[in-house]
Chains A and B, each alone.
Chain A
Amino acid sequence: MFLVVFPTISLWGDHGQEALENAHVCLINATATGTEILKNLVLPGIGAFTIVDGHTVAGEDVGNNFFLSSNSIGKNRAQAATELLQELNSDVSGNFVEESPDKLLDNDPEFFHRFTIVIGVQLPESTCLRLGSVLWSASVPYLVCKTYGLIGYMRLVVQEHTVIESHPDNALEDLRLDQPFDEFKNHINSYDLTSMEKKDHSHTPWIIIVAKYLDRWLSEHDGQPPKNYKEKESFRQMIREGILKNLNGVPEDEENFDEAIKNVNTALNPTKIPSAVEDLFSSGQCNITAQSPSFWVMLRAVKEFVHSEGSGNLPVRGTIPDMIADSQKFINLQNIYREKALQDSAAVAKHVESLLQSVGKPAESISERDIKLFCKNAAFLRVVCCRSLAEEYHVDSVNKDEITSCMDSPDSEMVFYLMLRAVDRFYQLHSRYPGVYNYQVEEDISKLKLCVNSLLQEYNLNVNIKDDYIHEFCRYGAAEPHTVSAFLGGSAAQEAIKIISHQFVPFNNTFIYNAMSQTSATYQL
């Protein structure tokens, strides 16, 4: 039997995988939620992880955690979990620190600066906020996760996260049919649909067909493209009439013409810069200094390109969708776009070079490969900025509007956010969570209600929380059922991978999962 090594096939490409392999993730608390998150990071191959946990393994820990076994009861939880997580993937370097995060924050807060991302699980509020403050100052991304009964909670804390490859689901093509560049124009002119043999005619790419007929339309309509439904229909009809007919006058089967007709709507979309990108152009970050990250240097370069060589447009993306055509015609057309994209990217590179020079940095600091990638994704660039925990928690900056407007809807998940804040308050007061033991459930209801009221009062929130929710949260007894931990484990790991790889867009900034109804919501708090 032979063993073949497969490269890890990932949605985030080779450079995304590289980022993953260079990442060092810190997990605080190897509870079920924590180990499930880590499992989904170890499997795709992060470089290293470090578990920080001062707890010893209890019987109930083993009961809901796949990465603890009964013979680890009494041992330190960080160490026990590391062993079984490490076993999943020998390429990953697993480490543990048998220490509570509070101790580390007291003695060596800079310990946390070395990590690519810190994931804090089942943290009491005070520890969570202390850690948040340290990581915010050090610009280390921080992901807070909590499973509480049937509720899952995640909070992303990152000052500025840039995404070049957002991989949007339904991206519009960049075909420039409304503003054909010279090389494209020449290519279109090299075709004469009226003199082609059937084989060539039926295998001409639809882009050429639309371009040809658009030329004709423009000359017949004073240079105005089809604008409304009626005109687009006429345009489609014009193309339809171009389908070859056989000797009996019956239209032949020309799938490429069918494609052209089908694509008229999107083909006629005017080329323009998406508003999200325009917003980035007007950001203060575009004023380049020696500290500017490459993202902003490249963005500024693209902005300058837009105002010069680009004539108001972003660099050509360089890709075309698949379409019916013979290989040669398709490749020739594809190359027209590819070469233009290379040209535009080279122009942007010149702007990058002079920007770098202007702040005293060498031209090599940003590679040609990175600039090409940036240009290819110019229409999809995203920047995610999360508010700090301090801003979320402070009475003067709490997002009252969001909380109160959500609470107006009876089914909103926001009530769970408030309940989680209330149980945190309970913990601070009583050094325990409500309803952990059976005998506590009833008597803790009134105590928890007091915490709810004090929370709403402190933040001046004019909302009503039904007693049912207070009862339910006492009933939960701070349980961490495995299935909810696993749901959060998958969700959090994926967000962590987005942060590490800078691909796909992370959430901003609070995610609540309700396993009772299998619903969820994201809030910006």
Chain B
Amino acid sequence: MAEMDEPEKKRRRVVELTENMIVDGVCGGSCEWEGRWNHVKKFLERSGPFTHPDFEPSAECLQFLIDTCKILVIGAGGLGCELLKDLALSGFRNIDVVDMDTIDVSNLNRQFLFRSKDVGRPKADVAADFINSRIPGCRVVPHFKKIQDLDETFYRQFHIIVCGLDSIVARRWMNGMLLSLLVYEDGEVDQTSVVPLVDGGTEGFKGNARVILPGLTACVDCTLELYPPQINFPMCTIATMPRLPEHCVEYVRILQWPKEMPFGDGVALDGDDPEHIQWVFQRSLERSAEFNITGVTYRLTQGVVKRIIPAVASTNAVIAAACATEVFKLATSAYVPLSNYMVFNDVDGLYTYTFEAERKENCSACSQIPQDLRFTPSSTLQEVLNYLTESASLQMKSPAVTATVEGKSKTLYLQSVASIEQRTRPNLSKSLRELGLTDGQELAVADVTTPQTMLFRLCFTS
């Protein structure tokens, strides 16, 4: 047998080394060590009686997670930090994270990827840095942006999106974005255009985790009535960006009271003591004046003081863990994913309730059925706007309405641009007939709760 020449020896040696690495399931380089993925591999390389019918055990499953699978985490706060850790320790490597906030001191007792030296820096950046350095090989890419600043080409690149948001509005926007990515063939959803959405939310000792397959299963808007009006406020909002009178009260309660101890050292604020509330009320008024916020009253002050629901580290841990488990199932088909909603509450013992939320036939977001608006021709535009904001199934925030009148596109009312708001304000008190609208015509409505304009059909009633 002829001697192998040097380049061939070298090539075989490289192949040999690479093969050994594949057998260990590693990516090469110093970021791997023996046994690293033992816990995960048992679910990917062994068959079992409860796996998903599509599941095929193989070493490639783990490689897919490590090399190829792209996950997007929305939010790098209480839930987001937990999600990043959970995903990284489950084998995911290509993780993007989006968060528009910077770190505040009030975050530190919960959002464990942040330290006091990080205060002021973007949450997404710091979270990514921490995970990437603590978990070798992990490549978290941060985006210090609002979700609305990113477009469909961005969102389309991910296999699964998981949300840890503290706002219904943002959730609905995300929901709408993924619905807008759907491709329909003969009235059926093209499954390759579906990006699964795993969504987690917490409030004190309560939380929920759900799996949404846009276009196929119940979406966020299908179950809008499940979300009660939010009465808790993120601490970062209170400290730096108050918008509501409630935020002013919280600022006084949390910051000024402990600093000034107005009724003696160590005397805690008692929501049932009128003198205490009076003190908080006065200072809340001062704070609200600073930010031109109106609405601080004695009653509101007491209401806020007694109803605050702080965030709890352990609830975030539980909900994020449940969500990450679902991401793992969706990515690997190791098990059948949650179908489709789990509620958790540990006020009295621990309680979970799991059920299948149903799609709403006429869901304003995912049913593709144009929504009817029924009004008399003499109803005012204001009444239409009231319906859009107050209806339990729509819950819009500040809808902008456009219609085609006499062949021309006309903005009937828009709030977000001051000059247009002023110009269109007189339309609010005009009747629909006066505005030149006809029975059966389409109205296009834009709102922060959805990335795409919603089409409505105007139906005149008598």
* Residue ranges of A at the interface with B (Cβ–Cβ < 8 Å): 1, 3-11, 13-14, 32, 36, 39-40, 43-45, 58-60, 62-66, 69-70, 73, 88-89, 149-150, 166-169, 318-319, 322, 325, 327, 330-331, 334-335, 338, 438, 441, 468, 471-472, 475-477, 479-487, 489-491, 493-495, 497, 504-508, 511, 513, 515-520, 522
Q: Measured between alpha carbons, how far is A14 from B322 in the docked complex, in Å?
A: 31
Docked CA distance A149–B49 (Å): 14
Q: Which of B104-112, B189-197, B217-225, B385-393 contacts A (4 or more CB under 8 A)?
A: B104-112
Instruction: Identify the closest chain B residue to A69 (Cβ).
Output: B134
In the assembled complex, which residues on chain B have CB atoms less than 8 Å from the CB atom of A482? 39, 85-86, 89-90
| B205 lies within 8 A of chain A by Cβ | yes
Contact across chains for A522 and B349 when beta carbons are under 8 A apart: yes
In the complex with contacts A6-B255, A479-B43, A63-B37 CB distance below 8 A: yes
Contact of B321 among A10, A325, A484, A497 (CB under 8 A): A484
Question: For the complex, what is the distance from the CA of A63 to the CA of B137, rounded to whole Å?
Answer: 12
Complex CA–CA separation, A3 to B235 (angstroms): 15
Q: Interface readout for B300-328 with A: 1 if CB under 8 Å, 0 if not?
A: 00110010111011111111111011101
- Pull 21 A–B residue pairs with CB atoms less than 8 Å apart, ordered by A: A4-B239, A40-B313, A40-B317, A59-B34, A64-B39, A169-B348, A334-B274, A471-B49, A475-B48, A479-B40, A480-B39, A483-B321, A483-B324, A486-B86, A486-B317, A486-B321, A487-B325, A490-B313, A490-B318, A491-B314, A518-B338
- The answer for the CA separation of A70 and B342 in the assembled complex, in Å, is 35
Determine whether the beta carbon of A167 is less than 8 Å from that of B347: yes
Given contacts A6-B105, A490-B321, contact A476 B42 (CB under 8 A): yes
Most buried by B among A484, A490, A516, A519: A490
Contact of B346 with A by CB under 8 A: yes
B272 at the interface (CB under 8 A from A): yes
Taking a contact as CB atoms under 8 Å apart, the answer to whether B349 and A335 are in contact is: no
CB-CB under 8 A from B154, the residues of chain A are: none
**Once the chains bind, are A327 and B298 in contact (CB under 8 Å)?**
yes
Chain B positions 338-395 with a Cβ under 8 Å from a chain A Cβ: 338, 342, 346-352, 354
Given A4-B105, A506-B349 in contact, is the A60-B134 Cβ separation under 8 Å?
A: no
| A244 to B425 alpha-carbon distance, docked (Å) | 35
CB neighbours of B446 from chain A (8 A): none
A43 and B82 CA atoms in complex are apart in Å by 13
A43 touches B313 (CB 8 A): yes
Given contacts A3-B105, A63-B36, A482-B39, contact A519 B321 (CB under 8 A): no
- Chain A minimum-CB-distance residue to B353: A519
Q: Which A residues are CB-close (under 8 A) to B239?
A: 4
Contact across chains for B312 and A494 when beta carbons are under 8 A apart: yes
Nearest chain B CB to A379 CB, angstrom units? 15
CA distance A58 to B39 in the complex (A): 12
Inter-chain contact B48/A66, CB cutoff 8 Å: no
- Number of B residues with CB within 8 Å of any CB on chain A: 79
A64: min CB distance to chain B, Å: 5
Say yes or no: A487 contacts B321, CB within 8 Å.
yes
Structural contact, B86 and A517, CB atoms closer than 8 A: no
- Whether A62 contacts B36 in the complex (CB less than 8 A), given A8-B109, A322-B299, comes out as yes
Given contacts A322-B299, A486-B86, contact A505 B349 (CB under 8 A): yes
> A169 CA to B351 CA in the complex, in Å?
13
State the CA gap A43–B111 with chains docked (Å).
9
* Chain B residues in 8 Å Cβ range of A5: 105
Closest CB-CB distance, B285 to chain A, in whole Å? 13
- In this assembly, does B448 line the interface, its C-beta being within 8 Å of a C-beta of chain A? no
Q: How far is the CB of B411 from chain A (nearest CB, A)?
A: 34
A73 to B90, CA, bound (A): 19
Q: Provide the bound-state CA to CA distance between A516 and B48, in Å.
A: 12
Are the CB atoms of B350 and A522 closer together than 8 Å?
yes
Nearest residue (CB) in B for A494 is B314
Q: A167-B347, A168-B347, A476-B42 are in contact. List 19 more A-B contacts (CB 8 A).
A: A9-B254, A63-B37, A66-B135, A73-B33, A149-B42, A168-B348, A322-B303, A438-B46, A475-B48, A479-B39, A482-B90, A483-B90, A486-B86, A486-B320, A487-B317, A491-B350, A494-B312, A518-B338, A519-B354
| A334: contacting residue among B39, B86, B258, B272, CB under 8 A | B272
A191–B361 Cα gap in the complex (Å)?
A: 53
Residues A518 and B272 in contact in the complex (CB < 8 Å), given A438-B45, A491-B314, A495-B350: no
Report A-chain residues with C-beta under 8 Å of the C-beta of B227. Answer: none
Complex CA distance for A91 and B343, rounded to whole angstroms: 34
**Which residue in chain A gives the minimum CB-CB distance to B281?**
A327
Complex Cα distance A494/B90, Å? 24
B40/A518 in contact, CB under 8 A: no
Task: Among A9, A65, A516, point to the contact of B50 (Cβ < 8 A).
Answer: A516
A14: chain B residues at CB < 8 Å are 268
Please, which residue of chain A has its CB at the minimum distance from the CB of B346?
A: A494
* B135 CB, min distance to chain A CBs, angstroms: 8
Whether A66 contacts B40 in the complex (CB less than 8 A), given A6-B255, A327-B299, A475-B46, comes out as no
| Inter-subunit contact B85/A60 (CB<8 Å) | no
Contact in complex: B38, A490 (CB < 8 Å): no
B204 at the interface (CB under 8 A from A): yes
Nearest-CB distance from B42 to chain A (Å)?
A: 4
Nearest 6 A/B pairs, CB to CB: A490-B317, A59-B35, A490-B318, A486-B321, A507-B349, A487-B321
Given A44-B109, A319-B272, A491-B318: A7 touches B205 (CB 8 Å cut-off): no
Which chain B positions have C-beta within 8 A of A494?
205, 312, 314-315, 346, 350
Chain A residues whose CB sits within 8 angstroms of the CB of B348 once the complex forms: 166, 168-169, 504-505
Contact partners of B297 in chain A: CB under 8 A: 327
Contact (Cβ within 8 A) A63 B89: yes
Looking at B37, B43, B349, the one whose CB has the most chain A CB atoms below 10 A away is B349
Within 8 Å by CB of B36, from A59, A318, A476, lies A59
Which listed residue, B42, B272, B325, touches A484 by the CB 8 Å rule?
B325
Instruction: Determine the distance from Cα of A13 to Cα of B268 in the docked complex, in whole angstroms.
Output: 9
Find chain B residues with CB under 8 A from A8 CB.
109
Instruction: Pick the residue among A63, A485, A511 that contacts B350 (CB under 8 A).
Output: A511
Given the complex, which residues of B lie within 8 Å of A489, measured CB to CB?
A: 314, 317, 321
B426 at the interface (CB under 8 A from A): no
- Residue of B with least CB distance to A519: B354
Chain B 194-215 per-residue mask, 1 if CB under 8 angstroms from chain A, else 0: 0000000000110001000000
Q: In the complex, A95→B354 CA distance in Å?
A: 40
A477 to B44 Cα, complex, angstroms: 12
Bound-state Cα–Cα, A89 to B205, Å: 22
Do B350 and A507 touch across chains, with their CB atoms under 8 A apart? Answer: yes
* C-alpha gap A168/B350 in the complex (Å): 14
Residues of B near A479 (CB, < 8 A) are: 38-40, 42-43
Q: Are B347 and A504 in contact (CB under 8 A)?
A: yes
Chain A, residue nearest B316 (CB): A490
Residues of B within 8 A of A70 (CB): 33, 136
Q: B413: which A residues are within 8 A, CB to CB?
A: none
Chain B contacts for A520, CB-based, 8 A: 350-352
Q: Which residues of B contact A517 (CB under 8 A)?
A: 338, 354
Instruction: Give Cα A69–Cα B130 distance, bound, in whole angstroms.
Output: 13
Which residues of B are found within 8 Å of A169, using beta-carbon distances? 347-348
* B28 lies within 8 A of chain A by Cβ: no
Q: Which of B40, B235, B317 interacts with A36 by CB under 8 Å?
A: B317
B38 and A60 contacting across the interface, CB-CB below 8 Å: yes
Residues of chain B contacted by A504 (CB below 8 angstroms): 205, 346-348
Contact status A515-B109, CB under 8 Å: no
- By beta carbon, the residue of chain B nearest A332 is B274
- Which residues from chain B contact A515 at a C-beta distance below 8 Å? 322, 325
B335 located at the interface, meaning its Cβ lies under 8 Å from any Cβ of chain A in the complex: yes
Chain B nearest CB, measured from A87 CB (Å):
8
